[in-house]
Structure 1
Amino acid sequence: MLMAILIMVGLAVFFGALLGYASLRFKVEGDPITDQIDQLLPQTQCGQCSYPGCRPYADAIAKGEVGINQCPPGGESTIQALADLLDVEVIPLNEEMGEHLDEPTVVIIREETCIGCTLCIQACPVDAIVGAAKLMHTVITSECTGCNLCLPPCPVDCIDIIPLKQRIDTWVAPEPVSALTKIPVRVEAKS
């Protein structure tokens, strides 16, 4: 009987130590669903969803505080992906947050008009604008997400929105034209 008790205590200590190690080794940091939602968002950090960036918006979606339709840069494709992930109904984009543009845009600064006020630098959430006080500023187009948050604070209206130039990684082939549509068809009446 003493041997059985010692074996049971030994097994309890062994499995307790094993579970303690496993809880430390396989500990999950953060919320995995928030990470999955954040990966689906466009990462523009634009704030159009009324949150300061994509991660806080993902956290709010995971907690059920806000709907999945608050992200204009993501558009319908992001809403569809979020609905599939969370197994909820697809709802249209909330028009109060802004509109989704099919063609991506960036901003440029007309450097000859820029007065160097630095208000656009402070407004840019991704630090895509460089310059110094009382000197001209410029936009690093590869970093610009097209959120247009730099437009309202500019006192001289020297920032323009332009469509993003196609690059090799963003180019999409045009739809092929059928050869049959180019050949005129003549129908002759038989007598």
Structure 2
Amino acid sequence: MSMTVALIAIGLLALIFGLVLGYASIKFKVEGDPLVDQIDEVLPQTQCGQCGYPGCRPYAEAIANGDEINKCPPGGESTIKKLADLMGVEPKPLDAAHGEEDEKKVAFIREDECIGCTKCIQACPVDAILGAAKHMHTVITEECTGCDLCVDPCPVDCIDMVPVSPTTTSWTWDFDKTPKGDIPVKVVS
């Protein structure tokens, strides 16, 4: 009998606390800054840290708080132009202190030289490297952002950054480099 009363009392307390927490989560909900969300969408999501921040979201927050928009080498000039349009400021050239804009590259592990130390796996911010301790590792090229953070920790120097050749599935039109002008249109009436 006393066990049943105790279980009912605990159940009622859990229900009451659950209702209070549910109400508090709705009443005191904190909305994120929509500008930060927009800036974060423009950034390349490489999470490489070359900008001096631990990822794209913290850099987006810094830009919203007044930091420079030209610190992202993976995004390059096209990202700087998009950020300048979004923020209503003049675009600046890429800050050379944070790196140079290169063609898209991905990591390539020479698997016959890999000792399976897992240091590259720990350094990869997007989990693009597969492997286990004392077994060879490999890179999922579709997931690799080319941030280059896995190269330095490798004790046997078996990781290369290789350029990505565009294929029919990966090729995209670069609208920033297309000439702008009047395109003649024939109107049929």
Distance 1:28 1:80 in 2: 31
Q: Look up the match of 1:110.
A: 110
Pairing of 1:170-181 with structure 2 (within 5 A): 170-171=170-171
Q: CA deviation at 1:171?
A: 2.7
- Distance in 1 (alpha carbons) for counterparts of 2:115 and 2:122: 15
Q: TM-score, normalised by structure 1?
A: 0.73
Match of 2:33 in 1: 31
Which letter does structure 2 place at the counterpart of 1:71?
C
Indicate the residue corresponding to 1:58 in structure 2: 60
Match of 2:150 in 1: 150
Percent identity between matched residues is: 67
Aligned residue type for 1:151:
V
Q: Which residue number corresponds to residue 19 of structure 2? A: none
In structure 1, the residue corresponding to 2:160 is in which secondary structure? strand
Q: Which residue of 1 aligns with 2:133?
A: 133
Deviation digits for residues 136-175 of structure 1 (CA, Å, limit 9, x no counterpart): 11101110000110001101000011111322243368xx
User: In structure 1, how many angstroms separate the alpha carbons of the residues matched to 2:113 and 2:165?
Assistant: 23
Instruction: Give the aligned partner of residue 12 of structure 1.
Output: none
Residue 73 of structure 1 deviates from its aligned partner by: 0.5
Q: Which letter maps to 1:63?
A: N
RMSD: 1.7
What are the superposed Cα offsets for residues 9-66 of structure 1, whole Å, 9 maximum, x if unpaired? xxxxxxxxxxxxxxx79x87200000000011011111110111100100010011x2
Q: Between Structure 1 and Structure 2, how many residues are aligned?
A: 147
**Separation (CA, whole Å) in 1 of partners of 2:49 and 2:120:** 15
- The answer for unaligned runs of 5 or more in structure 1 is 1-23, 174-191
Relative to the length of structure 2, the TM-score reads 0.74
Runs of 4+ that moved beyond 6 A: none
SS at match of 1:76: helix
For 2:38 and 2:141, locate their aligned partners in 1 and report how far apart those are by CA, in whole Å. Answer: 28
Three-state SS of the structure 2 residue aligned to 1:127 is coil
Report the equivalent of 1:92. Answer: 93
Residues of 2 paired with 1:61 and 1:109: CA distance? 35
Distance 1:60 1:48 in 2: 14
Residue 96 of structure 2 aligns with an amino acid whose one-letter code is: E
| Partner Cα separation in structure 1 for residue 55 and residue 98 of structure 2 | 14
Name which one, 1 or 2, has greater alpha-carbon Rg: 1
2:169, 2:37 → 1: CA distance?
Answer: 26
